[in-house]
Amino acid sequence: MSENRENLLVVDGMALLFRAFYATAVSKQFMFNQQGIPTNGVQGFMRHMFAAIRQSNPTHTLICWDMGSQTFRNELYDGYKAGRTAPPEEMIPQFDLAKEVATGFGFVNLGVPGFEADDCIGTITVQAASSISTTVLSGDKDLLQLIAPTNDVWIMQKGYGNYKRYNEATFFEEMGITPRQFIDVKALMGDTSDGYPGVRGIGEKTAIKLIQEYQSIEGVLANLDKLKPAQQTKIQEDLAMLELSQKLAKIHTEVPLEMNLDSLKYNGFQEDAYSVIEKYGLKTLTRDVE
C-alpha cells in the first residue's frame, strides 16, 4: 500500500454483526437492554469496530450494509443465496439498532438497494484509490478480489482484533494467483454459501491450478483440448453455469453512490459516547470508550 498518510477503514457491517451475534448466541447471552431489545450482536459489533480502529488507526471510517436480500444477482440467478436460513428472532431488531448505535458514535452507514455491501465496498475502494488508501475489514473472503496497490483486506479471525492481513504480495504468496484471478477461481469452483455451483466436480485445488496455468476462464476455454478428458467434459456440460457464476462471483465496482471523504473523517470518541451507551443499554462498551 502507498505511504499515503490518510487511510479509510471500510467495514463490512453485516459480517461484523453476524460474527458478534453468534459468538454469544451459543450460550444464550442476548443481553437485553431497558427497552427489551437484545444487544449482544450490537455490543460485539461495536467492540470489533473499536478493535479495528485501534489497529488500523484510520483517518476516515465507513460502514457498508446490505439493504435487504434482493439484489441484481437474484435477477441473474434464482438460486443465489436461496439456501440461507432466516436470522434468529433475537438478531432481527439488531440490524437497525446497529446502524443507530454506529451513527450515535459518529460513524457513517452506507447501503444501496439492489446491491450487496460487497459491491458498495468495492465501489468505494475503487473511487478512493486516487486520493486515499483503504483497508477493508470483513470475515468474507470474497472481498479478497478487491486487493489492490491502494487497498488491503483484513479477514477477521477468532476473537477481537485478530486478522489475516492481505495485500497483493501476501495474497499471491498464499494463493499463487492475483486478486483479479480469484474471481475466475470462484466461478470455476462455485460457492455453496452463496448458492451458485460453478462447474460441478471442480474444486478449489483444480480451479487454482487451471487459472495458474491458463491465466483466466477465457484462457481455460481456449485450451480445452489440453485438459484431461474428464475436466473437458465437466466444463463443456456446465458452460452456461460457468459464465453465470463468473458474473455472480465478481464484485460490482460501479454502484451509483457518491463518496464524500470529508463526511467520513474519524475524530475519535465524542463527549456523547457515554450518553449513547446509556441510551441503548450497552454496558459492555464502557471500557472501550474510557
Segment 252-279 mean pLDDT: 90
Looking at residue 12, what is its pLDDT? 98
- Residue 154 cell numbers, joined: 483484513
> Domain limits at 185?
177-249
Segment 147-157 mean pLDDT: 98
Instruction: Please state the separation of Cα 188 from the chain's center in Å.
Output: 21
Of the pLDDT bands very low, low, confident and very high (cuts 50, 70, 90), residue 272 is confident
Of the pLDDT bands very low, low, confident and very high (cuts 50, 70, 90), residue 2 is very low
The helix or strand, by DSSP H or E, that contains position 51, with its residue range, turns out to be: helix 40-56
Please give the Cα distance from 169 to 196 (Å, whole number): 29
DSSP 217-265: HHHHHHTGGGS-HHHHHHHHHTHHHHHHHHHHHSPP---S----GGGGB
- Angle (CA) 276-278-281 rounded to 5° is 100
Give this prediction's pTM.
0.94
Q: Which residue has the higher pLDDT, 26 or 218?
A: 218
151 and 16 housed in the same domain: yes
Q: Report the number of secondary-structure helices (H) and strands (E) in the chain.
A: 13, 6
How high is the mean pLDDT of the chain? 93
- Angle (CA) 57-108-20 rounded to 5° is 70
126 and 64 housed in the same domain: yes
120 and 13 housed in the same domain: yes
13 and 115 housed in the same domain: yes
202 and 257 housed in the same domain: no
Residue 290 within a domain = no
Does the pLDDT value for residue 166 go beyond 50? yes
Question: CA 222 → CA 87, 100, 194, 239, distances in Å?
Answer: 43, 51, 28, 13
Q: Above pLDDT 70, what percent of the chain? A: 98
Does the pLDDT value for residue 69 go beyond 70? yes
192 and 208 housed in the same domain: yes
164 and 39 housed in the same domain: yes
Please give the Cα distance from 201 to 212 (Å, whole number): 18
Segment 110-122 mean pLDDT: 96
